[in-house]
Structure 1
Amino acid sequence: MYPESPFPDRRIFCIDSVSFYASCECRYRNLPPLTTKLAVVSDLKRSGSVVLAASPALKKLGIKTASRLYQIEQLPVRERKQILLVEPQMLAYMKTSIEVLDVLHQFAPLDAIRIYSIDENFIDMTGTERLFGTDDEAAQAIQSAIWEQTGIPVRIGIGPNNVVAKLVLDLLGKREGIARCGYADVSRLLHDFPIRKMWGVGQKMEQHLLALGIETIGDLAASRVEDLHERFGVLGAELWHHAWGIDSSPTTIDPTALFQTSPAVQRTIGHGVTLMRDYYQYEQIRLVLAELAGDVAARVRFSNQVGWTVHLGVRYSRHVLRSGFSKQLRLPYPTADERLLLRHLLQLFEPNWMEGEPIRFLSVALGQLTADQGTLQLSLFEDNRKVWRRKRLLKAMDRVNLRYGKGTIRLAVSFLDTSVAKRRLRFVGGHPGGDLHDTLP
């Protein structure tokens, strides 16, 4: 039986750009995005690199997002010759995403739009019927405006709330272009799809649900909410409500909330990096550890915290029998100073690494975080005035990097060829950002 929804019936549009990165690259080259066979690959020099985006025409050949470059190389020669391979330009994609957002502002005010990801947005079109017509008319107008002004094709799902709009987009809209689903249509349109298609159900949750005999979204809706809550907690009850199209989450949020520090204290802040080649020499490895320590310490200071526990993770090349090691120790007093952090990291590293062992991955973390009270831990063995000046210096460096961009002030050794910081500064979201002069407006 379909439960009666206590939530208002709004007009929520979920707008998704078609193969966004690939469509952007087609636009930059004046190529048709729906018929051009193009793949955005993380690194064209490695056959195992991941395909970040494949155009619709390329997907018909079996190449999809998360495919590997070698799979493209295995296609027949006649097909390969028609495929354009490019590396990502994340800063350019962010600019294009902002252009799409500017078009949406022509249909709704800022406070009616929620940015979900770089290629997907929710927009509340409630009350705009007299301006833009019916759901289909408004959706077609948005599609046309985005295409004409940005060259990016989009698909749209329409529903009474975020969940229904997202589900109908993923399940029907990506095939039909525009799809709509109301509360009364949920069971007819959505319940026959496999449970893995449910928004919020990952691989692990799918396995748990299949073990309970829940194979479709309809099966989930037919289950007892009490049983799901007992088994999976609040998440189980939420999934049951979503299966019926019930969602109380707001479409829009206060943008200023994104920049407010959460009152909850984080317990650990860390960062890891996979090296582009095996590192054998101590000085090269020490440089990477220094850069990771600096990155972690800066993030800890930005959160206005200090940490008690330092953690080091090391993973060797896959050609070595030993997989690596993981060590941690408690500091004599809490800190967010990368110099002290590096000193203890080397204490963990040196006795556990055999000289010449090839390292491919390093991670650093500072744990047991607590709020920084702005006080100084006095020491009988150090010049406390120097320690205080050092703390003020780090805060000043943080302010400069925050205002003018990460890496504005950094260690001179980061310009060495073995530095990972120099390469990471050109990355956005873990992928090349494009030309260094290509910055956000």
Structure 2
Amino acid sequence: MKKTYISIDLKSFYASVECMERGLDPLNTNLVVADAARTQKTICLAVSPSLKSYGIPGRARLFEVEQKVKEANARRRAKAPKNMIEGKSVFASELNENPRLAIDYIAAKPRMALYMSKSTQIYDIYLRYIAPEDIYAYSVDEVFIDASAYLKTYGLSGHDFARLLIRAVFEETGITATAGIGTNLYLCKIAMDIGAKHTEADADGARIAELDEYSYRRLLWEHRPITDFWRVGRGYAKKLAKKSLFTMGDIARCSLGKSSDYYNEDLLYKMFGVNAELLIDHAWGYEPCTLTEIKSYRPQRKSLVSGQVLQSAYTYDKTRIVVREMMELLALDLVDKGLLTNQIVLTVGYDIENLSDPERRNAYKGEVTIDGYGREIPKHAHGTGNLPFSTASTKLTADCVLEVFDRVVDENLLTRRISITANNLVTEDEYKRECEKKSAEPEQLSMFDMLANSDEPIKAEDLPSEEPYDDRLSSKNLAPVRSVAVESEAELGDKDISEDVLEKEKQVQEAMLKIKKRFGKNAILKGTNLQEGATAKERNAQIGGHKA
């Protein structure tokens, strides 16, 4: 059975929501979603379509928006009658009609809770037409749909069914969308990302494009830049360019080469390893993965990550405060999800000022790397801390991450980014079963175990003979078989933490979670959260690093 997949992307979603909340037309209003109260380097979460027409990318920095608008206004002034500007407007229609008006825009403060609520509302609209098992939320504003079984039911083509869904969303929310239709998940995504951009918009502003394997090769094999394609970033493009491979057609032809040719699939595998297989498939327009497989996928290893970009450069001491805060919140998150971890990974990125300031640069003797903007920056600090057993204890995890921090972070450098990962996650039930299984297994003893557990002086006759078993080894010299839980408690003895103490701490954590859920995350704070440089109080009022 031939498959039909649809990918739908809500157009400039955050900006469109903000426009609709103000009773404005998203397609006719210059609006950018960004917190102007932050620095000018803050990232814009969304830019309205009319504002993008001035060359502003969707994820620009606020200062880039201001610069582009300033340049556009300079051009308008030069073309205006008598080089005079007599006002300004945020509406594209008024700007098109009156050349004397300067371009203006609305800077809307992010409201993440509103966007999530609106996304849920739109997802519910899709569910009126599609069963949950046939739709996958790729992001807050984008979904994949397996429409194969629905076209016959509704008596529609893939194009008309996509239009039906888009119109239903538009009529209820005022938000328009772009859609791609393909014979596999990759092609519907590419049809939406690349093909729809060159398709005329309908009356509602929606753009819909279709691709199959053959039309993909005919229309997009020579398309540039190659970074427009899904999963091909600047790193991939740079490696490919070094081998004079610039398009998907180049990659497809390379994969056909004989083993004696310079260009063959072995060249791609040397460059990208196993990922070359996916790249080659996509070059030909193939994608074997289905929506059912995506939904049934369960990662072998689980982790939980907390990260933030600091609003200014932080000193060593202030960064240490934030690291503790982040770990304490991450530990609470583990308790809330019923998970345990036995490994904490810390990554701290340094600020550009460490090398732009002459005095600091002269003092720094460490390794230097290049950031995404081509600037020199000290190589980030990275370290791992292993816990004696799986736990969600705030004390144990905080002590662990601070030990890593003290070990790997340069106290003379300013920091800007922090990331903490809790690895090897297991549920409490899974860990209990693992402990019970290990406690039932016999323990392999060694001569050193026996000698270490003996209270009597070591005599020559007490040493084991070369025989595999000797009666002279009495039972009092044998170390007892211990469960993992007992071993862990013994290891924790140095830290004065027993199982009773850990259980009491867990009860406190659960009580804190109940209070926070009922009265808000800032209903209960620690003294650390009120110190200079602390960010937890502010972050508790955010979703995804932006105001809720």
Per the normalisation by structure 1, the TM-score is: 0.80
1:215 is paired with a residue whose SS is: coil
Structure 2 residue 200 is matched with structure 1 residue 86: no
- State which of 199, 203, 211 in structure 2 corresponds to 1:181: 211
2:45 is paired with a residue whose SS is: strand
Q: What CA deviation, in whole Å up to 9, does each residue of 1:77-124 have, x standing for no partner? A: 647653111121111111111222122223222221111111111112
Query: After alignment, is 162-171 or 231-240 more displaced?
Result: 231-240
Query: After alignment, is 333-342 or 320-329 more displaced?
Result: 320-329
Q: 2: distance between equivalents of 1:223 and 1:356?
A: 49
Q: 1: distance between equivalents of 2:513 and 2:504?
A: 14
Q: 1: distance between equivalents of 2:409 and 2:275?
A: 43
Query: After alignment, is 177-186 or 332-341 more displaced?
Result: 332-341
Q: What CA deviation, in whole Å up to 9, does each residue of 1:226-271 have, x standing for no partner? A: 333354233212221122221111124576x58x7x44365xx654
Query: After alignment, is 176-185 or 150-159 more displaced?
Result: 176-185
8 A contact 1:312–1:348 mirrored in 2? no
Structure 2 residue 15 is matched with structure 1 residue 22: yes
2:46 is paired with a residue whose SS is: strand
Q: What CA deviation, in whole Å up to 9, does each residue of 1:200-249 have, x standing for no partner? A: 11111111122222211211222226333354233212221122221111
Structure 2 residue 128 is matched with structure 1 residue 106: yes
1:35 is paired with a residue whose SS is: coil
Q: What CA deviation, in whole Å up to 9, does each residue of 1:23-42 have, x standing for no partner? A: 11111111111121111114
Flag structure 1 segments of 5+ consecutive residues without an equivalent.
Answer: 1-7, 434-441
The structure-2 alpha-carbon separation of the partners of 1:67 and 1:125, relative to structure 1 and needing over 3 Å to count, comes to: same
Q: 1: distance between equivalents of 2:287 and 2:387?
A: 49
Greater RCO structure (CA 8 Å; 6+ sep): 1
The structure-2 alpha-carbon separation of the partners of 1:71 and 1:29, relative to structure 1 and needing over 3 Å to count, comes to: same
Q: 2: distance between equivalents of 1:292 and 1:62?
A: 38
Q: Which amino acid aligns with 2:503?
A: R
Structure 2 residue 178 is matched with structure 1 residue 122: no
Measured on the aligned residues, the alpha-carbon RMSD in Å equals: 3.7
Q: Which amino acid aligns with 2:323?
A: L
8 A contact 2:516–2:524 mirrored in 1? no
2:223 is paired with a residue whose SS is: coil
Query: After alignment, is 384-393 or 316-325 more displaced?
Result: 316-325
The structure-2 alpha-carbon separation of the partners of 1:369 and 1:126, relative to structure 1 and needing over 3 Å to count, comes to: closer
Matching residue of 1:416: 530
Q: Which amino acid aligns with 2:273?
A: G
8 A contact 1:13–1:122 mirrored in 2? yes
8 A contact 1:312–1:326 mirrored in 2? yes
Alpha-carbon offset, residue 51 of structure 1 = 1.9
Matching residue of 2:371: none
Q: Which one has a larger percent helix, Structure 1 or Structure 2?
A: 2
8 A contact 2:11–2:178 mirrored in 1? yes
Structure 2 residue 229 is matched with structure 1 residue 206: no
Structure 2 residue 311 is matched with structure 1 residue 318: no
The structure-2 alpha-carbon separation of the partners of 1:310 and 1:397, relative to structure 1 and needing over 3 Å to count, comes to: farther
Matching residue of 2:327: 293
Matching residue of 1:70: 63
The structure-2 alpha-carbon separation of the partners of 1:231 and 1:288, relative to structure 1 and needing over 3 Å to count, comes to: closer
Q: Which amino acid aligns with 1:148?
A: E
Matching residue of 2:166: 143
2:489 is paired with a residue whose SS is: coil
Q: Which amino acid aligns with 1:87?
A: K
Q: Which amino acid aligns with 1:170?
A: D
Matching residue of 1:97: 119
Structure 2 residue 503 is matched with structure 1 residue 389: yes
Q: 2: distance between equivalents of 1:402 and 1:245?
A: 49
Q: Which amino acid aligns with 2:546?
A: H
Matching residue of 2:99: none
1:158 is paired with a residue whose SS is: strand
Q: 2: distance between equivalents of 1:332 and 1:13?
A: 46
2:291 is paired with a residue whose SS is: coil
Q: Which amino acid aligns with 2:104?
A: Q
Q: What CA deviation, in whole Å up to 9, does each residue of 1:347-397 have, x standing for no partner? A: 666799999986655555567889855624225552636534345436635
- State which of 271, 282, 287 in structure 2 corresponds to 1:242: 282
The structure-2 alpha-carbon separation of the partners of 1:200 and 1:19, relative to structure 1 and needing over 3 Å to count, comes to: same
Matching residue of 1:275: 310
Matching residue of 2:441: none
Alpha-carbon offset, residue 72 of structure 1 = 2.9
2:209 is paired with a residue whose SS is: strand
8 A contact 1:311–1:367 mirrored in 2? no
- State which of 383, 388, 395 in structure 2 corresponds to 1:333: 388
Q: 2: distance between equivalents of 1:332 and 1:199?
A: 38
8 A contact 2:324–2:402 mirrored in 1? no
| Matched residues, number | 420
Query: After alignment, is 417-426 or 119-128 more displaced?
Result: 417-426
Q: 1: distance between equivalents of 2:319 and 2:229?
A: 44
Query: After alignment, is 241-250 or 333-342 more displaced?
Result: 333-342
Flag structure 2 segments of 5+ consecutive residues without an equivalent.
Answer: 74-87, 90-101, 200-206, 257-264, 365-377, 436-484
2:194 is paired with a residue whose SS is: helix
The structure-2 alpha-carbon separation of the partners of 1:151 and 1:276, relative to structure 1 and needing over 3 Å to count, comes to: same
8 A contact 1:116–1:122 mirrored in 2? yes
Q: 2: distance between equivalents of 1:71 and 1:204?
A: 23
8 A contact 1:114–1:253 mirrored in 2? no
Q: 2: distance between equivalents of 1:136 and 1:93?
A: 27
8 A contact 1:44–1:86 mirrored in 2? no
Q: What CA deviation, in whole Å up to 9, does each residue of 1:152-190 have, x standing for no partner? A: 111111111111111111111133111112233222122
The structure-2 alpha-carbon separation of the partners of 1:39 and 1:425, relative to structure 1 and needing over 3 Å to count, comes to: same
